Structure 1
Amino acid sequence: MYISTVLGGLSVLSGATLAYASSAVEPSNFNVTAALEDLGIDVAAIPALKSFNGAQARSTDKACAVACSSLSFIFNSKVSAQNTTGYSNFTDSFWSVQQEEVQPHCIFRPTKNTDVSAAVLLSRLTGCEFAARSGGHAAFTGASSSPGGISIWFKDMNAVTLNKDKSVASIEPGNNWLSVYSALQPYGLATIGGRAASIGVGGFVLGGGISYHSNLYGWSCDNVESFEVVAASGLILTVSETSYPDLYWALRGGGNNFGLVTKYNLYTIPAPEMYGGSRTFIQTYFPQAINAFINVANNASVDPHAQQYIAFLRTQGTNLASAELTYTQNVSNPQIFKQYRSIPAVADTSSPKTLVEYVKYLETENPFHLREVYWPVAVKLDEKFSNWVVDTFYSMISQVEDVPGAQPVIIFQAITEPMLKKMSDFGGNALGLDASNGAVQLMHISCWWSNESDDATIYAFVNSFWETVLAEAKSQGIFNEFVYMNYASLYQDPISGYGATNKALLQKIAKKYDPQAVYQTLQPGYFKLDGAPATL
């Protein structure tokens, strides 16, 4: 189903596009008021701005009161103030409670790219901070909602369209992967996207994006034909391998540090019916399951249709391993999974599934409205070390067993050689990974719990566990500094994990396109270029 969101402008905002700049690089004499006027906004006609002066920007409350009042004057029903239904619809719909707790000054729901330009420029004019939300699936405060500021909710920018030969799908950031796959399914197509229904398009692509189809085609960021980006100047850029290629490279893994993306143009792929589900084992069979995981990862080049991850948890006092085994064709028992199938299982949910059905099924494993943390590390793929990590996890899990509602899980995935080789396509990405040292094992802790009073206990447990693991990995020479942004905790610095050279280049590119560091300072949430969001 295709959704169109074309609305006419209000009297103070024409349909004009920015005409003041001839390049993406912001001139030294850039004038925010003039840029707003180029958008068709008569700044002098906005009541809240008549008595506003720059000194007031030192006060977040005053600055954001003026910014939100100005947005409301220009856009009317697209802005929701506190204590309104539109506001509560926003705050109540986040995945994690930490995000739900954030109280923005107002919510802005743009319907087209020039609306987004106006919001960024009004933030600059007033000094009010902002955040932008695609799906809202981060696990910490302020990632995609701005405390006391403007929260830009892309919900109404939700079109999915195909180009003439159906080779590229243009996807607006208000989509999640269920809506994308649902729109493309009638054509027998999909894109390289997320594995759960409610994951948003925006953060997923900009942080990398592991897909069911990644052994065949690479990560989501490696399958972007072009981005439509609102630069800090409000200018709308089409960014590709040949148009602003440095920015194109940076956006492929660099997160929200360079602009607000208002359209993701992704290459399409065939989407036949798949086969998959979870197969669950008791602790007796953990070594065999880990051996199967290693072998499937190492054989990804032999049969790239296979995708897997394996999770270890304790439920009702029983230690279990759950292997999610996905085959991108409707083949019930492919050779690559025969080792897994030979291990006795206490449960198996495997069945034929369309991509739409698959992401709905996996959504049940990611419940909403709980306190959440994700926290990843990376090492060289190693079977003996994997067994040691699982044993260590269970030896330490008692530290949080008495925390109400706590469910810690450790999950193993492989960044396989086929995935790594695809990362050099179209000029490469910013992630700092390559295939020269073989497959990488991505391990992450996922944990939910009930009460804010237990936050420190959970964070201390995960941090202590990873400190133990990483010390051993470093002693064995298998540590990898990569930190996967899409799973990163608020105490991690993914950009540094891309390596010093890539970090310096990302900082240089950000300075080129955003010389006043708007996307570093006025949009301070999520993962910035200079360090982790928080410290323990």
Structure 2
Amino acid sequence: MTIHDGYVSVDPWLRWGTVYDYLDPHELVVLGGRDGSVGVGGLVLGGGISQFTPKRGFACDNVKSFQIVVAGGKILEITANSHCQLFQALKGGQNKFGVITRLDLFTYPSPQLYSVSTKLKCAQNLEVSLTSLYVPSTGEPYLQLVMLSSSGNNVTWTKQDQSGGLALPPPLAEFNNLSYTHVEESKGTMSKLASGGSSPSGLRYDLRTFAFYSSSTMLKRIKQIFDEEFAPISKEIAGFSGVIEWQIVTENAIAQGVAHGGNVPGFKGGGPVIR
């Protein structure tokens, strides 16, 4: 990795935790994976949702340039001003156009992050986060709500003794009516928060992604199908886990992608979108 004025050059085979640790002493951050164990190249070429996506768009929308080896063996520098069509195609087009050998990623001042994780008793056999992660649970069912703010040190959501809820921002006020079993808080830069967990190794994964405009009817129907299909399998196969992860792409995140030359996911407005 090499720091330049306003961006950092990164080898795509690194993992995000290494990148965050490298930038942290310089008080800088890039848009990358929320888990430090995630690979750099795969996330950026796939679009890439990060902790900063609501403000700055996808990770792929924050690439200054790509270095790529194409099928004929040429090494090309791909920017929005040179090879503009290939530049857009690489932003979410995955690894279909050549071998990426370097990514130049825009850097930003690293804010202090504040994360709160809470658990609630839930009738469904699900684990849920604010990014809406659904996982079959073998223990007592519970609902998990995770919130994260990147607006600095002055943000706090404290537990309220009388109601058992949280002091939440207005858009999430209805969550105050729920009773939480515990609250876990974490503060620090992206380098610290990304190191808090990692995906288990040695497992096989099969991933599918699609997007639709926000619809409660669609969300409920997807959950119903998920329960019907995955519950029998999880009982029969030890270690099997199925996940639906609802990732919210805000109107501003979509606007950032449009402003930075567009991307392969192709969102043009009218959000929010669930991906």
Residues 319 and 386 of structure 1: CA distance in aligned 2, closer, same or farther (over 3 Å): farther
The residue that corresponds to 1:162 in the other structure is: 3
1:422 deviation in Å? 1.1
Aligned residues of 2:53 and 2:253 also touching (Cα < 8 A): yes
User: Are residues 1:361 and 2:202 paired?
Assistant: no
User: Are residues 1:248 and 2:87 paired?
Assistant: yes
Root mean square deviation of aligned Cα: 2.4
Equivalents in 1 of 2:13, 2:222: separation in Å? 38
Structure 2 residue identity aligned to 1:214: T
Aligned residues of 1:313 and 1:319 also touching (Cα < 8 A): no
1:343 deviation in Å? 2.3
User: Are residues 1:378 and 2:211 paired?
Assistant: yes
Equivalents in 2 of 1:346, 1:395: separation in Å? 28
User: Are residues 1:344 and 2:179 paired?
Assistant: yes
User: Are residues 1:319 and 2:106 paired?
Assistant: no
The residue that corresponds to 2:261 in the other structure is: 427
In structure 2, the residue corresponding to 1:428 is in which secondary structure?
coil
The residue that corresponds to 2:23 in the other structure is: 184
Q: How many residues align?
A: 260
1:337 deviation in Å? 4.5
Structure 1 residue identity aligned to 2:119: T
For CA contacts below 8 A with separation 6 or more, give which structure has more relative contact order.
Answer: 2
User: Are residues 1:263 and 2:102 paired?
Assistant: yes
Structure 2 residue identity aligned to 1:382: S
User: Is there any run of 5+ residues in structure 2 with no aligned partner, and where?
Assistant: 158-167
The residue that corresponds to 2:272 in the other structure is: 439
1:284 deviation in Å? 4.6
Aligned residues of 2:136 and 2:231 also touching (Cα < 8 A): no
In structure 2, the residue corresponding to 1:180 is in which secondary structure?
helix
The residue that corresponds to 2:236 in the other structure is: 402
Residues 389 and 404 of structure 1: CA distance in aligned 2, closer, same or farther (over 3 Å): same
Kindly report which structure 2 residues correspond to 1:199-210, keeping only aligned pairs within 5 A, or say none.
199-210=38-49
Cα deviation, 1:359-401, whole Å, max 9, x if unaligned, reads 11132xx111123222333222112432343344334433212
Residues 254 and 391 of structure 1: CA distance in aligned 2, closer, same or farther (over 3 Å): closer
Structure 2 residue identity aligned to 1:385: M
Query: TM-score w.r.t. structure 1 length?
Result: 0.46
1:277 deviation in Å? 4.0
Equivalents in 2 of 1:311, 1:161: separation in Å? 35
Equivalents in 1 of 2:46, 2:18: separation in Å? 20
Equivalents in 2 of 1:319, 1:388: separation in Å? 20
1:278 deviation in Å? 2.8
User: Are residues 1:332 and 2:156 paired?
Assistant: yes
In structure 2, the residue corresponding to 1:376 is in which secondary structure?
coil
User: Are residues 1:234 and 2:58 paired?
Assistant: no
Equivalents in 2 of 1:196, 1:186: separation in Å? 19
Which is greater in Rg? 1
1:423 deviation in Å? 1.4
Cα deviation, 1:459-510, whole Å, max 9, x if unaligned, reads xxxxxxxxxxxxxxxxxxxxxxxxxxxxxxxxxxxxxxxxxxxxxxxxxxxx
Give the number of the structure whose residues are more often helix, by fraction. 1
Equivalents in 2 of 1:361, 1:340: separation in Å? 25
Aligned residues of 2:249 and 2:271 also touching (Cα < 8 A): no
Aligned residues of 2:88 and 2:261 also touching (Cα < 8 A): yes
The residue that corresponds to 2:249 in the other structure is: 415
Aligned residues of 1:222 and 1:422 also touching (Cα < 8 A): yes
User: Are residues 1:389 and 2:237 paired?
Assistant: no
Query: TM-score w.r.t. structure 2 length?
Result: 0.85
1:247 deviation in Å? 1.3
Q: Name the % identity.
A: 29
